[in-house]
Structure 1
Amino acid sequence: MTVSSLASEKPNDISLSLYRAIWRWHFFAGLLVIPFMLNLAITGSLYLFKDEIDNTAFAYRNVVQPRGEALAPSLLTDDAKAAIPGAKVLRYRAPTVPTQSARVTVGTNTGNVLVFVDPYSGSVLGKVGEKEEFNWVVKKIHSLDYFGFAFNRIVEAVGGLALILVVTGFYLWWPRKQTGGVISVRGTPDKRVFWRDVHAVTGATAGALIFFLAITGMPWSGYWGDKVNVTLSSAGLGYPAQLWDDVPVSKIPTKDVLTHAGWTVESAPVPTSTPSDTAQPIGLDQVVASANAAGMAPGFEVSLPSGKKGVYTAAIFPDDIAKQRTIHFDQYTGKPLVDLKFADYGAGARAIEFGIGVHQGEYLGLANQIVMLMTCLAIVLTSLSAVVMWWRRRPSGRLGVPPMPSQKSVFVTLKLIILGFGILFPLTGFAILAMLVLDQLVTRIPSPLKRVFS
């Protein structure tokens, strides 16, 4: 063999090694995340239509017939409290439209309860435990927070791995002189190539949107999201901390007093009221009237003060993110202590809130919901086709892991790149490190696992 022929073959060998290395990582990442991706896609699809579900499946407690003037909020909260003796009123949500019920959150010894009240008659339409409400359960299963702290952290790692899957998937799909499996699907469902092409074409078509869903879901993650929130706020790109400079504050974060706090303000401290011997609380009715007079969008929620230094917090995070607003009122004077509008957010917070709004199908109406639903269905299809494709390809009794690259330097370089990516998302980095260690142990130490992983 001549020197020139060796030189011509070397690039091909490197290219094949790179392909195998990326394929191997794509395989490992997919093996880990498919069950979680299916959960995210299915529960995400349901949550996209939370309002529609409330107004159909649970219309008996959410939908009313308008008739005359609505009763005062204080009367509605009294009716809700009377329905559950011994309960304490915690929050009141005003109707967004005349056909919507009012919702009152009350606290009991066994947990919070949502009470739905007809705003025109005061009659109780229904009640459900806060942690049993359908959309709450769907959202918590979506994040795995329903199953505890550890599972929520797993979802954060899965989000980072999903980003890796999209990037590596694009590389594997990229046309290399082949005509099939790029934009068309070959064969029939009884052939492996059919499922390979379904997986590749669907992933390539929806890959950018899947990447968008993964990256915009990361701010809600427990570790990475909190760190980004703090970093943006410290840099003046999150909520404007200077609004709290001249008011006394508590150690209570806003997310602890509201049913759902927006991402930007969830960690912002709740101010405190200034009590005196003669001052009396102004009452819920005046707070609702003040919020309306301030131009707050309909459907806002008001949390009632907890203790003598507590405040009334009126807040809304509607589909139109530009109307997000949070106002903390002194419970004795009714003075707005902090009035935070979307326009006050820093550039980083506004960008993230926009991403979250689109992610949840809230920002651009039905078109937004349909596009996100199609993306979720694409995730389901790529996941299921991957399982079928792998099952048909794998040798009997083995996982069928793609072969190690012959040029080990290519694999080492790829590992460094992926680990660098993991540094940006620490929990994903730990998952990648675990895969690296397991891969090296299995391939280097003789054991029955070595055959299984081949």
Structure 2
Amino acid sequence: MMGSQLQTPPKRSLRSSQSNHITKQQTKARYFLAWRWHFYAGLFVIPFMIMLSITGLIMLFDDEIEQLRYSEIINVIPEGNALAPSKQLDSVKVKYPNAKITQFIASDSLDQANRFNVSLGDGQSVLVTVNPYTGEVIGEIDRNNSWYQLANDIHGTLLIGKWGDYLIEIAASLAILLLVSGIYLWLPKDQASRAGFLKLRVNKGVRVFMRDLHANLGGALSFVLLMFLLSGLAWTGVWGAKLVQGWNTFPTYYTWGDKPESVLVHQDLNHGSEEELPWNLEQSPVPQSNGHHGSHHAHHSTASSDLTNSIGLDHIIAQARQLGFTKFKVFLPQSKTGVYTVAANSMAGDVTDPRQDRTTHFDQYSGDILVDVTWEDYTLVAKLMAAGVSLHQGDLSLINKMLNALFCVALVIISMTGVAMWWVRRPVNQGKLGVPPRFVEEGVWKVGLASVIATSILFPLAGLTIIAMFCLDALIVRKNARLAQYFS
């Protein structure tokens, strides 16, 4: 009888053993399911992450690159007192008699030239540098031919317009799913995952080393990457402009009041793809100058090539300095109802502290302030966006810039090690892509499914892409034996 008891394990112990086995199988199935999602998202995302990192590095060091390329026409020798900005403007008008002068950019250094934006027509725009002490036009910087402009265009549209913007938005949205699945794979769940957590095992082979580098870098920088993705997504054409930015655009009725609004919005004042006006103002209409300040002005054009009827650039700059502007841009009126706009904001790199953001519109005839928007007027999301973009662009300090540069390099390493891991473990001569295996008994993972659904709802283009991939898998891949084997 005692022998019989020894041979028959207790029911509770047997059930516990079976339960532990089922739990381990479920955990393993979920791990491989998360890995499959991570793999498929990475297929699409990795090329974009590498592109965004490299172009981001170029944009990050735009000032240094520009200084190297154009030092001869940027640097000046201080010689006494600077001429009035209007005198410098006259020199530019003489040099470019048939062009539109749209902007004055004040230098914040005594040994740097001031700049005027000159529109030559046909979409061509140049920055003309002027010696503030002599009024001499030194040279010009082709805005369409700068490294920054090229990097920015690739970074934002892949040089193919709105379709490039959509592709980048999809990649950035799917990168959030990549991030969530990556964190799940990274966090220790068993002895195997604990072995490489926050460690680099250099003696375990190439694949293990690449895995540790990929997982630990990605996990440690996951929050930073999320902040970069969200601040970057806020510029995109669907999630950014239609959803987030649309709800956080500055309410014109709040400050504009009965001031007439023009057909222009703030985004129209930007030059090319450069973001010179605050994000939450881009979709807001620009106010108009009131022509009744002098009836003799009404029939005159006050385009930038003939500003004699306006109150004048010198007066506007003096007012701006009285308001506390130091480094700023002045957008010149381009019609008889146009306004002078003085802007200094962190997104454009005018100031380093987003709390110093300010955009002020002046009536071109009286100099009256029509609209004055500061940090205090921003919505909560607009404040987060302004602060986030300053961090994103490395504008806060030299340390911020260096950390961003290291992050760009780290993101390239994370992407390349992901590719390297796949390359090492890929099946050779088997007609397979090397997708992580699927478990038949994996069932529905509620947390994972919730993550996919949440990503799809919050980021519509990512959702459409995921649905399209499921449809392609069901209608084409699974019904074609060769494709089914390739993606198995």
User: Which band: TM-score by shorter chain?
Assistant: over 0.9
Q: 1:446 to 1:360 in 2, by over 3 A?
A: same
Per the alignment, residue 288 of structure 1 pairs with: 317
Query: Would the aligned equivalents of 1:240 and 1:346 in 2 still touch at CA under 8 Å?
Result: no
Per the alignment, residue 270 of structure 1 pairs with: 286
- Deviations along 1:83-115, one digit per CA (max 9) or x if unpaired, are 345211111111122222211111122322221
Per the alignment, residue 213 of structure 1 pairs with: 228
Per the alignment, residue 363 of structure 2 pairs with: 330
Per the alignment, residue 203 of structure 1 pairs with: 218
User: What code does the residue aligned with 2:214 have?
Assistant: H
Written as runs of structure 1 = structure 2, the 5 A alignment for 1:250-265 is 250-259=262-271, 260-265=276-281
Most deviating of 176-185 and 244-253: 176-185
Query: Would the aligned equivalents of 2:102 and 2:331 in 1 still touch at CA under 8 Å?
Result: yes
Query: Would the aligned equivalents of 2:332 and 2:341 in 1 still touch at CA under 8 Å?
Result: yes
Per the alignment, residue 240 of structure 2 pairs with: 225
- Partner residue of 1:98 out of 83, 94, 110: 110
Written as runs of structure 1 = structure 2, the 5 A alignment for 1:227-376 is 227-233=243-249, 238=250, 241-259=253-271, 260-276=276-292, 277-279=295-297, 280-296=309-325, 298-317=326-345, 318-363=351-396, 365-376=397-408
Q: 1:126 to 1:407 in 2, by over 3 A?
A: farther
Most deviating of 71-80 and 353-362: 71-80
Higher relative contact order (CA 8 A, sep 6+): 1
Most deviating of 25-34 and 182-191: 182-191
Per the alignment, residue 403 of structure 1 pairs with: 437
Query: Would the aligned equivalents of 2:34 and 2:181 in 1 still touch at CA under 8 Å?
Result: yes
Q: 1:199, CA displacement in angstroms?
A: 1.0
Q: 1:256, CA displacement in angstroms?
A: 0.9
Aligned partners of 1:197 and 1:442: how far apart in 2? 36
Query: Would the aligned equivalents of 1:145 and 1:151 in 2 still touch at CA under 8 Å?
Result: yes
Q: 1:289, CA displacement in angstroms?
A: 1.7
Larger Rg: 2
Aligned partners of 1:438 and 1:415: how far apart in 2? 19
- Deviations along 1:283-337, one digit per CA (max 9) or x if unpaired, are 22221222112222x2211111122111111111121212211111111111110
Q: 1:354, CA displacement in angstroms?
A: 0.8
Q: 1:431, CA displacement in angstroms?
A: 2.1
Aligned partners of 1:254 and 1:20: how far apart in 2? 49
Aligned partners of 1:274 and 1:421: how far apart in 2? 48
TM (norm. structure 2) is 0.86
- Indicate the SS of the match to 1:106: strand
Q: 1:269, CA displacement in angstroms?
A: 1.1
Q: Unmatched 5+ residue regions in structure 1?
A: none
Does 1:452 find its partner at 2:470? no
Q: 1:54, CA displacement in angstroms?
A: 2.8
Query: Would the aligned equivalents of 1:419 and 1:433 in 2 still touch at CA under 8 Å?
Result: no
User: What code does the residue aligned with 1:263 have?
Assistant: W
Aligned partners of 1:146 and 1:324: how far apart in 2? 30
Q: 1:185, CA displacement in angstroms?
A: 1.9
Most deviating of 167-176 and 238-247: 238-247
- Indicate the SS of the match to 1:107: strand
Aligned partners of 2:462 and 2:151: how far apart in 1? 24
Aligned partners of 2:120 and 2:333: how far apart in 1? 16
Aligned partners of 2:89 and 2:154: how far apart in 1? 30
Q: 1:189, CA displacement in angstroms?
A: 9.7
Identity %: 36
Per the alignment, residue 68 of structure 2 pairs with: 56
User: What code does the residue aligned with 2:412 have?
Assistant: V
Per the alignment, residue 174 of structure 2 pairs with: 161
Superposed CA RMSD in Å reads 2.2
Aligned partners of 1:221 and 1:92: how far apart in 2? 28
Aligned partners of 2:136 and 2:157: how far apart in 1? 35
Query: Would the aligned equivalents of 2:117 and 2:128 in 1 still touch at CA under 8 Å?
Result: yes
- Deviations along 1:131-170, one digit per CA (max 9) or x if unpaired, are 2222222222212263311001111111111222122111
Query: Would the aligned equivalents of 1:240 and 1:345 in 2 still touch at CA under 8 Å?
Result: no
Does 1:171 find its partner at 2:184? yes
Query: Would the aligned equivalents of 1:97 and 1:299 in 2 still touch at CA under 8 Å?
Result: no
Q: 1:49, CA displacement in angstroms?
A: 2.4
Most deviating of 45-54 and 98-107: 45-54
- Partner residue of 1:146 out of 159, 177, 190: 159
Q: 1:434 to 1:58 in 2, by over 3 A?
A: farther
Query: Would the aligned equivalents of 1:17 and 1:410 in 2 still touch at CA under 8 Å?
Result: no
Q: 1:368 to 1:67 in 2, by over 3 A?
A: same
Q: 1:411, CA displacement in angstroms?
A: 5.0
TM (norm. structure 1) is 0.92
User: What code does the residue aligned with 1:403 have?
Assistant: P
Most deviating of 328-337 and 183-192: 183-192
Q: 1:404 to 1:442 in 2, by over 3 A?
A: farther
- Indicate the SS of the match to 1:407: helix
Query: Would the aligned equivalents of 1:239 and 1:264 in 2 still touch at CA under 8 Å?
Result: no
Aligned partners of 1:199 and 1:158: how far apart in 2? 19
- Indicate the SS of the match to 2:88: helix
Q: 1:80, CA displacement in angstroms?
A: 2.6
Q: 1:248, CA displacement in angstroms?
A: 0.8
- Indicate the SS of the match to 2:291: coil
- Indicate the SS of the match to 2:59: helix
Q: Unmatched 5+ residue regions in structure 2?
A: 1-8, 298-308, 346-350
Q: 1:191, CA displacement in angstroms?
A: 2.3
Per the alignment, residue 191 of structure 1 pairs with: 206
Q: 1:50, CA displacement in angstroms?
A: 2.3
Q: 1:4, CA displacement in angstroms?
A: 5.1
- Indicate the SS of the match to 2:225: helix
Aligned partners of 1:441 and 1:379: how far apart in 2? 35
Aligned partners of 2:90 and 2:72: how far apart in 1? 21
Per the alignment, residue 57 of structure 2 pairs with: 45
Per the alignment, residue 302 of structure 2 pairs with: none
Aligned partners of 2:439 and 2:291: how far apart in 1? 71
Query: Would the aligned equivalents of 2:176 and 2:455 in 1 still touch at CA under 8 Å?
Result: no
- Deviations along 1:365-424, one digit per CA (max 9) or x if unpaired, are 111112222211111001011111111111124210112233343257634531222211
Most deviating of 217-226 and 128-137: 128-137
- Indicate the SS of the match to 1:356: helix
